[in-house]
Copies of this chain bind each other. A is one copy, B any other.
Amino acid sequence: MNAAKEWKNFSLEQLQACREELEQEYAGYVKQNLKLNMSRGKPAGTQLDLCNGALETLSSYTTADGLDARNYGVLDGLPEVKKLFSDLLDIPAEKIIVGGNSSLNLMYDTMVRCLLFGTRGNTPWSKLGKVKFLCPSPGYDRHFAICEELGIEMITVPMREDGPDMELVEKLAAEDDSVKGIWCVPLYSNPQGICYSPKTVERLGAMKAAPDFRIFWDNAYGVHHIYSEEKLADIFAACEKGGHPDRVFYFFSTSKITFPGAGVAILAASPDNVAEIKKHMGIQTIGYDKLNQLRTLQFLKNADGVRAHMRKMAAELKPKFDIVLNTLQSELGGTGLAQWTSPKGGYFVAIDTLDNCAKATLELAKQAGVTMTGAGATFPYHRDPRDRNIRIAPTYPTADELQTAIRLFCVCVKLAGVRKLIAEKQ
């Protein structure tokens, strides 16, 4: 990178000239009355069309065991559906509970069970004076919302290239018994697309922590490859090796494989955890929707079927990620006004503006008709300490809309940045 070209090294006059040009360009966008949305990780209709087979009539409501799936029975999921997820994720079937349509719901309920009942004989978290969770950030706003709702204190842990800052994680978990867990999106993390390295996974399994410390392992993008197929080390093996077989609650769903909100979610955990969870789950419900489990299975067929389907999804998504990454590079590359990640899969691109420029950037985008995830959303309590992280969700708009939106977004990043640099020089 040519440091001379970085805008922070521009003279006041150069910056003022840039600003004037950018203000004009921005005004041009405002006039277009755009209405574009890059706020949520929402598939586009064209992606969903690839899944329309899952809308079709069930060819059979009889399970592999000969049960009538239309009727009551089977709390923890049909064996053939467990097998699909077992093969796909390399998790033994006996560790798997197949739930309803929402992995978020399984996470929330799991946290509530820890609060109300404790886990594996430990004190219910609601009976402790304080419960803290480690929150690698930037992270997923809905994870943080669960903690906030339930009064769990969140500790921000920075993300590195290979996962959370493990030195800090280890220190916090070892020193403070009230630290009861950590949120992880280990593959193509939300929002940066970071993949946890084998070393990170190993350290999470081995580290010293409270006996009821739990890793909430939200493998939301576990098969959502785009540019390459990144591998994730086995968190169960790591925890077993570390002597903490009950440490993981593992979540996955087909919400972004088949249909958001009409897919199938799973929770995986050690057999002892599974037994404990089922005991409580059996009071909460008679069972989840087995017909939807069969419907999803009928469409996806097996683990190879999922992989083949996800390659079609990747072909659909790659052009959109190309647009975002190419435009960021052409518009912001070398300016020093922003840094961003280049994810190999998942649903998001994360960008860091200059310090204290995220809110201003998003406000500019909003005024010009582009809705994005709110500033701070990727941090606990919506507080981005440096006000710089922005999540870009490229999947929902069409390619044309996305091209427009991301160009405009770059103008906003530059305009907010140049305004800040000018203010600093004056």
**A residues at B contact (CB < 8 Å):** 40, 42-43, 45, 48, 51, 55-58, 61, 68-73, 100-102, 104-105, 108-109, 112, 115-116, 126, 142, 145-146, 149-150, 259-262, 280, 283-292
Contacts and interface: CB of A to CB of B under 8 A. Distances in A.
B72 A42 contact: yes
Contact of A68 (B48, B56, B72, B112): B48
Nearest to A282: B145
Given A100-B100, A259-B291, A285 B72 contact: no
Nearest 10 pairs of A and B residues by beta carbon: A262-B291, A105-B285, A108-B284, A72-B260, A149-B283, A70-B259, A101-B289, A102-B285, A48-B70, A262-B289
Contacts of A150: 116
A116 to B, nearest CB: 7
Taking chain A's interface residues, is the majority helix, strand, or loop, or is none over half, making it mixed?
Answer: loop
B71 A283 contact: no
A184 to B, nearest CB: 19
A288 B56 contact: no
Given A104-B284, A142-B283, A261-B290, 10 more contacts: A40-B72, A69-B262, A71-B259, A73-B261, A102-B286, A104-B286, A109-B284, A126-B126, A149-B280, A261-B287
Contact of A286 (B57, B261, B283): B261
Contacts of A55: 57-58, 61, 70, 291
Contacts of A290: 261-262
A398 to B, nearest CB: 14
Contacts of A57: 55-57
